[in-house]
Structure 1
Amino acid sequence: MILESRAYDVAEQTLLQEAPALSHALQNRVLLKREDLQPVFSFKIRGAYNKMASLSDEEKAAGCVCCSAGNHAQGVALSARKLGVRAKIVMPLATPDIKVNAVRHHGKEFVDIVLHGKTFDDAAAEARRLVEEEKLTMILPFDDPYVIAGQGTIGMEILQQTSGSGEKLDAIFVASGGGGMLAGIAAWVKQIRPSVKVIGVEAADAAGMTASLQAGKVVELDHVGLFADGAAVKKVGTETFRVCAEYVDEMVTVSTDEICAAIKAGFNDTRAILEPAGVLSIAGMTQYVKTRGLSGCQFVAVTSGANIDFARLRFVSERADSHERLLAVEIDENPGAFLRLNRRLDAVGVRITEFSYRYANAQKARVHLSFHSPSADHAVAAIRELQEEESPVLDLSDNELAKVHTRYLAGGRARGDVQNERLYRFEFPDRPRALATFLEALQSSWNISLFHYRNHGADVGRVLVGFQVPEEDHERFQTFLNQLAYVFHEETDNQMYQEFML
């Protein structure tokens, strides 16, 4: 099916570009398969067009429908215009204008945009209704043989583009959400050049294919993180799972910080700003090489998309610098203590980039600071220097609560005794009135003792909330949380909270 794909009626054979900075940093030859250079800035056009081109004349005349607010919607829209097929694109009501306008731009008069429902599930239900009532053909984003075959042309191109290099191709790193691109590439590569490893990469908080392959069956996740939204899928496809189970060699999961660092690395080599899902391959490759100590190999990373909102870059830039470390330090409460701390760090060659504290008592001051260091080993040495000279030092560089919330909170411990406090982090899709909706949902009989929200310019809002919950109310409170329909994480036992906020 891959050889017979119609994808090239509209998709382009994309560049396989050497990444000199990444190659030098990783001591391996790194090639980037630039799917972000497709007409819709994403690989999705390949599968969408191949599926729509395969429709019968009757199906084309009736039209098609899809539910998507992302790259798949743009692929369907452009395919509809190229094929002259009417398409309805169903999106949630809160879909940002930039995404609605992009779909309208690609589809022109051949696309009807249907804004429906508060959630993606509501929009998906509307799309299914249109299939039943208007006899439209559903264009699925990944779980369809024609879609998989369309994405599989990427694997065909990679093998063609590396066949004359004279160097062995060791592995191809591929992002996975629903698994369509991973399945398509793996199916082709493992049959044509089985010595080449195909390694799937997922966000750690949206690792549906990893969980499914480990379980030996399709597993539906309870919830998924929203940062790498282009690959945030609760349940992978039945067909994509079958193909991946047969052909994919390994899976790698990466953190939000690793994704942000990969966006920066991709920019350094391409001067293109890739989306979070688009650099999963780079993040996974980087982790894979470092954890295994590999050198002298040749790797391909598929950069799968570049549809990123400019407003998200602030969050990315804050989290991309792996050379910045965040610490909590306790120093003497006396004049000149901070100066001495600064001099000690300066002596070992690190630069303080953030510093905040609040008076706690007459003896000790609790300090938040971040510093920039040229390497991980150097940072460890600097922390060790502080630990030898100062009171307790906490390295918070991997503490999500500290990085997202508490570093920005003025103050620290509450004034007075806060009884029965429990602390939670919440996440929700950040859209107009999202915070107001969240606050309305929080109305309850329990007092809110702490609240912190910061808009990161991303698609996900993050809120920190403290509740005062008497012990006898714990069961009722847990029921209340479960009914909120928000992703939440309890942080009551987090060391950062216990030491600096309670």
Structure 2
Amino acid sequence: MKPDYLERILNARVYDVAQESPLEYAPNLSTRLNNKLFLKREDLQSVFSFKLRGAYNKMAQLSPDLLKQGVIAASAGNHAQGVALAAQKLGTTAIIVMPVTTPTMKVNAVATGGGQVVLHGNSYDDACAHARQLAEEKNLTFIHPFDDPDVIAGQGTIGMEILRQYQKPIDAIFLAIGGGGLISGVAAYIKRLRPEIKIIGVEPVDSDAMSQSLQKGERVKLPQVGLFADGVAVKHVGAETFRLCQKYVDEIILVSTDDTCAAIKDVFEDTRSILEPAGALAIAGAKAYVEREQVTGQTFISVACGANMNFDRLRFVAERAEFGERREAIFAVTIPEERGSFRKFCSCIGKHNLSEFNYRIAEKKQAHIFVGVQIQNRVDAENIVATFEENGFKTIDLTDDELAKMHLRHMVGGRSSLANNELLYRFEFPERPGALVDFLNSMSPNWNISLFHYRNNGSDYGRIAIGVQVAPNEMNEWQAFLETLGYPYWDESTNPAYKLFL
């Protein structure tokens, strides 16, 4: 018999630990979007996330004997804090298995809350498998972060609060999706009482397990997930959450890392609060929906679902928010290496503010300039490109080029006649002690590293650009290395910006 979620949500035990979070109007965002946008402030819960609702509701249903034996959970952080708090409240012990990529602040918060932390694996799925193994060995109750009716019902109390707090027409509610527990619970409640309200899920483009699953009509397991929005870095959505999303979710919107960073900044400007990446997904989704549909005068609610942000990551967020807001563009511009060209180049920029300018003499006849320009919108960037081209300056728009944004802008100004048979690749790997050394040690000593760039942005995964000299007769060995490495990689050897600047 399938659960009656309306009944379960109405009877859920969450308010021993959770507060009814406020529903706040976002004036700046609403003005910019020309629609009313309200934020459901789950980031204001005591653990700075909605996750304590589902965790406590599940554990409050356990028998005294099961509680006495203890519980175990797997989590990238927020569910872990919820379980630790619930265990403390209910007088039991909790073991939390967390991926090694989990931000330090979340690990410390769980330990401070009384949870025993075990770090294992590079993703939630790795941690989950290990937690289930420990649950069997130690006879503990596994508290699933999303694929459990009691957990789903606990998260569904957010939907109950929204309808009580805002009784006027609502056009759409936007919710982040990881494993699907939050959107499933809210959708199950909203669609029973107000079926006309659209329920729209939001996922990162590199962690879109639910989107792919709904498209294929079956649960899809992703080979890897992006780790920037660690709170939703789930390879495989839940069976029950998938069923509920099939039934109740109207659509899923995918957003980029830059979009998410821009949404974090947007919320800060409206509330002076800083959301974590997963916590800002719903805001990024609402913005993307308005841009796509070109709607005005509608009412939207975005659930701001978490604020467990490592302070060190703010550097990366601030840098990338400008791209997400379409307020900065970067270009590679080729001009003649002759007198007067630079003055002509500057006149093309006009009154736009420069955010970056990189140049080094490299050829007798041509100069290659890497330039960042503050813009109003993407049309503004297209107009700048057109102006450069009209004046005879060949231009490449690099605003959406990950290699340029992450690495090249810090490396411009060097070519080498010694870099024969050079391949250029980008790699991402979990940021943990020794990870970079492990990566380098896995490479064949026959391959000479001819270029290298690495930046630690306080993020949970490292990014490197690496030039490697691989002889033609070793290309099969190189390909085998790539396929067995286990890290995401991109071949940038034909990237035009690489050709121009490096």
| TM-score scaled by length of structure 2 | 0.94
Work out which of the residue numbers 318, 333, 336 in structure 1 matches 2:337.
333
* Stretch of structure 1 that moved more, 285-294 or 82-91: 82-91
1:361 corresponds to 2:357: no
Counterpart position of 2:232: 231
Q: Summarize the Cα distance change of 1:96–1:382 in structure 2 as closer, same or farther, 3 Å threshold.
A: closer
1:151-170 pair list within 5 angstroms:
151-163=155-167, 165=168, 168-170=169-171
Pair 1:39 & 2:40 matched: no
Distance 1:263 1:53, change over 3 A: same
Q: Give the aligned residue type for 2:157.
A: T
Assess if the C-alpha contact under 8 Å between 2:157 and 2:185 holds in 1: yes
Q: Using a 3 Å threshold, how does the CA distance of structure 1 residues 364 and 303 change in structure 2: closer, same or farther? A: same
Tell me if structure 1 keeps the 8 A contact 2:152–2:182.
yes
Contact kept in structure 2, 1:47 and 1:149, CA below 8 Å: yes
Map residues 120-269 of structure 1 onto 2, 5 A cutoff: 123-163=127-167, 165=168, 168-269=169-270
Q: How does 1:281-300 map to 2 (within 5 A)?
A: 281-300=282-301
Please give the alpha-carbon distance, in whole angstroms, between the structure 1 residues aligned to 2:123 and 2:229. Answer: 18
Alignment check: 8 A CA contact 1:447 1:468 kept: yes
Specify the code of the residue in structure 2 equivalent to 1:391: F
Residues in 2 aligned to 1:231 and 1:84: alpha-carbon distance in whole angstroms = 29
Alignment partner of 1:17 is 2:28? no
Q: Percent identity?
A: 52
Helix, strand or coil for the counterpart of 2:458?
coil
**Alignment deviations for residues 84-142 of structure 1 (CA, whole Å, 9 cap, x no partner):** 111112235675542232112223xxx33334567766644442232112210011111
TM-score, normalization by structure 1: 0.94
Q: Which region of structure 1 is more displaced relative to structure 2, 215-224 or 447-456?
A: 447-456
For the Cα contact (< 8 Å) 2:76–2:230, is it kept in 1? Answer: no
The one-letter amino acid paired with 1:241 is F
* Shift in CA distance, 382/282, structure 1 to aligned 2, threshold 3 Å: same
Task: Find the partner of 2:378 among 376, 379, 382.
Answer: 376
Deviation for aligned residue 1:32: 0.5
Distance change (3 Å), C-alpha of 1:219 and 1:122: closer
Structure 1 position 204, deviation (Å): 0.3
Pick aligned residue for 1:112 from 104, 110, 116 = 116
1:75 and 1:345 map into 2 onto residues whose CA distance is 52
2:318 matched to which residue of 1? 317
CA contact (8 A) 1:94 1:432 kept: no
Question: What root-mean-square deviation, in Å, do the aligned CA atoms of Structure 1 and Structure 2 show?
Answer: 1.8
Q: 1:451 & 1:119 partners in 2: Cα distance?
A: 27
8 Å contact 1:342–1:352 — kept in the other structure?
Answer: no
Corresponding residue of 1:52: 59
Q: Is the 8 A contact 1:312 1:456 kept in 2?
A: yes
In the superposition, relative to structure 1, how do residues 146 and 445 fare at CA in structure 2: closer, same or farther (>3 Å)? same
- Between the aligned partners of 1:47 and 1:298, the Cα distance in structure 2 is 27
The residue type paired with residue 441 of structure 2 is E
Contact 1:350 1:382 in 2 (8 A): no
Equivalences, count: 492
Question: What is the aligned counterpart of 1:385 among 365, 384, 387?
Answer: 387
Q: Which moved more, 1:232-241 or 1:463-472?
A: 463-472
**Pairing 1:406-417 to 2, within 5 Å after superposition:** 406-412=408-414, 414-416=415-417
**Displacement after TM superposition at 1:446 (Å):** 2.0
AA matched with 2:361: Y
Contact 1:204–1:255 (CA<8 Å) still a contact in 2?
yes
Answer whether contact 1:262 1:280 (CA < 8 A) is retained.
Answer: yes
Query: C-alpha deviations, 1:406-452, integer Å up to 9, x for none?
Result: 1111324x321633322211001112222222222234422222211
Go from structure 1 to structure 2 and tell me whether the alpha carbon gap of 1:119 and 1:285 turns closer, same or farther (over 3 Å shift). closer
Contact preservation (8 Å) 1:201, 1:280: yes
1:33 Cα shift?
0.6
For 1:118 and 1:157, the matched residues in 2 are separated by 35
Distance 2:461 2:454 in 1: 11
Q: Structure 2 unaligned segments of length 5 or more: list them.
A: 1-7
Alignment of 1:64-143 (within 5 A): 64-92=71-99, 97-107=104-114, 111-116=115-120, 123-143=127-147
Counterpart of 1:62? 69
Counterpart position of 2:424? 423
Does structure 2 retain, via aligned residues, the 8 Å contact 1:326–1:370?
yes
Query: Does the C-alpha gap of structure 1 residues 152 and 476 become closer, same or farther in structure 2, counting only changes over 3 Å?
Result: same
- Distance apart, 1:336 and its partner CA: 4.9
**Distance in 1 between residues matched to 2:399 and 2:339, nearest whole Å:** 28
Q: Please state how far the C-alpha of 1:400 moved relative to its aligned partner.
A: 0.9
Distance change in 2, residues 1:191/1:95 (3 Å): closer
Q: Compute the displacement of 1:475 (Å).
A: 2.4
Whole-angstrom distance in 2 between the partners of 1:143 and 1:128: 14
Match of 2:272 in 1: 271
| 400-409 vs 476-485, greater mean Cα deviation | 476-485
Q: Which residue of 2 aligns with 1:29?
A: 36
**1:493 alignment partner in structure 2:** 494
C-alpha distance 26-487 of structure 1, shift in aligned 2 (>3 A): same
Q: Tell me if the contact between 1:454 and 1:462 (Cα under 8 Å) persists in the aligned partners.
A: yes
State the distance in 2 between where 1:313 and 1:182 align. 27
Which is worse superposed, 309-318 or 446-455? 446-455
SS of corresponding position for 2:372: strand
Cα distance, 1:379 vs structure 2: 3.0
Q: Tell which deviates more after alignment, 451-460 or 125-134.
A: 125-134
Which of 9, 20, 28 is equivalent to 1:2?
Answer: 9
Between 467-476 and 420-429, report the one with greater CA deviation: 467-476
**Following TM superposition, by how much is the alpha carbon of 1:453 offset from its aligned partner in structure 2, in angstroms?**
0.7
What secondary structure does 1:462 align onto? strand
Give the C-alpha shift of residue 277 in structure 1.
0.6
